[in-house]
């Protein structure tokens, strides 16, 4: 059996969180196996000190820097670590080449993982796992687990895992909120427009909840979300802006101390899901069939337009967002808060 595995996950935050379900499945069946993850700098906090990850290699790649020299050094380092297996969750060329030139003897990747397109990257694998299910109708975490199940001949399912750390930052930020019975978190901006619910809709929800519940509101997000969050705060009539003030593990600890999370489809959604928080996610061009938070306390709202899911970044008539209404969010939020 394999004892020293390198996992390639040069993907965005939400996907990195979801891949940990597959790692949990490996650890459950092979607890003595060492797992090292290769990730981007922005997501390293999601895997450092993660219970299902033993070590982390950060690929800090920038095209304008001496990338050839960096790649040579990384290949040398990976070769030194004597991995006996590499698993690709990203199907990207760069990590596939790194694994090939590092002479990792078994290199495993899926026939498809993000779309149905074939890729010549699979020629660099020693083993290609055939993914036969419909990607758009299957939770992405299950796709990652299917790679592991088929290669290792396993059964069963696991859930994503996130580090749990003490967080003075979380305590300090939440102390800024006014005294209230409920703490309600908002994530108001997606990675592109067709994931971003309107400011007016958020304002209607918050103003209604304020009238009916003793609640304090705050917005979470990345540093570059801060200005947009200020615009939303002005629209809704006040809330704290925590964008850019937390690490990923700080954010998880904030969710553990919060009563409700109302969010668009973004990486924070999947971090929140690992904490069990009550949450409502509004989906635009993406489908909850694939991206639903793995959390029994999660409600996913979508209008299921015939054109969804789509890959557009901008749409002249985004019915997918317009038709997920404040009334739907309020109905779910009031059920959560009254329970």
| Domain stop point among 95, 120, 152 | 152
Does residue 159 form part of some domain? no
Q: Render pLDDT for 61-91 as a digit per residue (tens, 0 to 9).
A: 765 566 778 888 999 999 999 999 999 999 9
How many domains are contained in the chain?
2
Q: Do residue 240 and residue 106 come from a single domain?
A: no
| Percent of the chain clearing pLDDT 70 (strictly above) | 98
Q: Do residue 128 and residue 215 come from a single domain?
A: no
Q: Do residue 86 and residue 210 come from a single domain?
A: no
Q: Do residue 134 and residue 192 come from a single domain?
A: no
Confidence of residue 316 (pLDDT cuts 50, 70, 90): confident
**What is the per-residue pLDDT for 306?**
87
Mean of pLDDT values over 11-28: 97
Q: Do residue 148 and residue 225 come from a single domain?
A: no
Mean of pLDDT values over 246-274: 97
| Domain stop point among 152, 187, 216 | 152
Confidence of residue 22 (pLDDT cuts 50, 70, 90): very high
What does 105-141 look like in DSSP terms, one character per residue?
A: S-EEEES-SSSS---GGGGG-SEEE---S-GGGS-HH
Q: Do residue 265 and residue 129 come from a single domain?
A: no
Does residue 139 form part of some domain? yes
Does residue 181 form part of some domain? yes
Q: Do residue 114 and residue 240 come from a single domain?
A: no
Does residue 165 form part of some domain? no
pLDDT of residue 335 exceeding 70, the answer is yes
* Omega cis (within 30) before 309: yes
Does residue 284 form part of some domain? yes
pTM (two decimals): 0.95
How is residue 213 annotated by DSSP? Answer: S
Alpha-carbon distance of 274 to 294, in angstroms, equals: 7
Q: Do residue 131 and residue 54 come from a single domain?
A: yes
Q: Do residue 10 and residue 81 come from a single domain?
A: yes
Say if CB 51 and CB 161 are below 8 A apart. Answer: yes
Does residue 15 form part of some domain? yes
Q: Do residue 8 and residue 140 come from a single domain?
A: yes
Confidence of residue 308 (pLDDT cuts 50, 70, 90): confident
Q: Render pLDDT for 120-137 as a digit per residue (tens, 0 to 9).
A: 999 999 999 999 999 999
**What is the per-residue pLDDT for 64?**
59
Edge-first strand order for the sheet with 240-241 is: 240-241, 215-219, 182-187, 260-264, 279-282, 298-301
Alpha-carbon distance of 215 to 185, in angstroms, equals: 10
Does residue 96 form part of some domain? yes
What does 64-103 look like in DSSP terms, one character per residue?
A: TS-HHHHHHHHHHHHHHTT-SEEEESS--HHHHHHHHHTT
**What is the per-residue pLDDT for 329?**
98
**What is the per-residue pLDDT for 218?**
98
In angstroms and rounded to an integer, the radius of gyration of the C-alpha atoms of the chain is 21
Q: Is 286 helix (H, G, I), strand (E, B) or coil?
A: coil
Q: What separation in angstroms does the CA of 77 have from each of 71, 81, 114?
A: 10, 7, 29
**What is the per-residue pLDDT for 163?**
97
**CB-based burial of residue 106 (10 Å sphere; 0-12 exposed, 13-18 middle, 19+ buried)?**
middle
Task: Pull the structure tokens for residue 36.
Answer: 């090292």
Q: Do residue 177 and residue 323 come from a single domain?
A: yes
Backbone region of residue 226 per phi and psi (left: phi > 0; alpha: psi in -120 to 50; beta: other values): alpha
Domain that holds residue 269: 172-338
| Domain stop point among 152, 185, 206 | 152
Q: Do residue 278 and residue 202 come from a single domain?
A: yes
**What is the per-residue pLDDT for 17?**
98
Position of tokens 């908002």?
186
């Amino acid at each position: 059996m394999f004892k020293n595995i390198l996992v390639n996950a040069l993907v965005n935050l939400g996907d990195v969180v979801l891949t940990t379900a597959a790692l949990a499945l490996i650890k459950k069946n092979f607890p003595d196996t060492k797992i090292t993850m290769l990730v981007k700098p922005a997501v390293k906090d999601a895997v450092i000190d993660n219970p299902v990850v033993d070590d982390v290699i950060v690929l800090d790649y920038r095209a304008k820097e001496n990338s050839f020299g960096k790649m040579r050094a990384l290949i040398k380092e990976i070769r030194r670590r004597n991995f006996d297996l590499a698993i690709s969750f990203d199907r990207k060329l760069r990590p596939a080449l790194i694994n090939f030139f590092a002479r990792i003897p078994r290199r495993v990747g899926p026939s498809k993982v993000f779309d149905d397109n074939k890729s010549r990257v699979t020629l660099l694998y020693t083993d290609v796992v055939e993914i036969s299910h419909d990607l758009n109708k299957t939770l992405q975490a299950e796709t990652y687990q299917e790679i592991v199940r088929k290669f290792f001949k396993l059964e069963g399912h696991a859930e994503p895992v996130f580090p749990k750390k003490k967080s003075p930052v979380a305590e300090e930020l939440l102390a800024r909120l006014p005294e209230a019975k409920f703490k309600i978190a908002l994530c108001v901006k997606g990675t592109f427009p067709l994931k971003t619910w309107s400011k007016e809709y958020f304002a209607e929800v918050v103003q209604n909840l304020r009238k009916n519940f003793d609640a304090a509101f705050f917005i979470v997000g990345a540093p570059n979300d801060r200005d947009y969050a200020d615009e939303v705060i002005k629209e809704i009539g006040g809330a704290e802006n925590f964008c850019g003030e937390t690490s990923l593990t700080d954010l998880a600890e904030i969710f553990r101390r919060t009563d409700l999370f109302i969010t668009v489809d973004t990486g924070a959604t999947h971090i929140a899901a690992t904490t069990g928080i009550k949450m409502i996610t509004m989906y635009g061009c993406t489908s909850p069939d694939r991206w639903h938070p793995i959390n029994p306390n999660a409600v996913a709202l979508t209008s299921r337009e015939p054109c969804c899911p789509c890959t557009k970044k901008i749409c002249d008539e985004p019915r997918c967002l317009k038709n997920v209404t404040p009334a739907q969010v309020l109905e779910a939020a009031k059920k959560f808060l009254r329970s």
